Amino acid sequence: MKRNRPISGVTNKVNPAITPQISAACGSVKGKYAVVLDGGKTTIFISDKSREAEIIERYNQRRGR
């Protein structure tokens, strides 16, 4: 009796060289900065820490509508 194998015949190992790229593209917060908005009710993550003040200001302007 033959063993059951994947149809493609390829093992299910993850290539460690592309794992960091996949993590960064799929919602990972590694290397990002947290910005707390609305008194702690809302938290977003940004990659550029220098834009934190701008993002807070824009959020507050939109909440005022």
Inside any domain, residue 51: yes
In a domain, 7, yes or no: no
pTM of the model: 0.55
Residue 24 within any structural domain of the chain: no
In a domain, 62, yes or no: yes
Would 57 be classed as within a structural domain?
yes
In a domain, 26, yes or no: no
Q: Structural domain tally of the chain?
A: 1
Residue numbers of the domain that contains 44: 32-65
Q: Which residue has the tokens 């959020």?
A: 59
Q: Is residue 49 part of a domain?
A: yes
C-alpha of 21 from chain center: 11
pLDDT digits (tens, 9 = 90+) for 13-65: 666 666 666 655 667 788 889 999 988 899 999 999 999 999 999 999 998 76
* Spatial separation of the C-alpha atoms in residues 21 and 12, rounded to whole Å: 18
Question: Would 54 be classed as within a structural domain?
Answer: yes
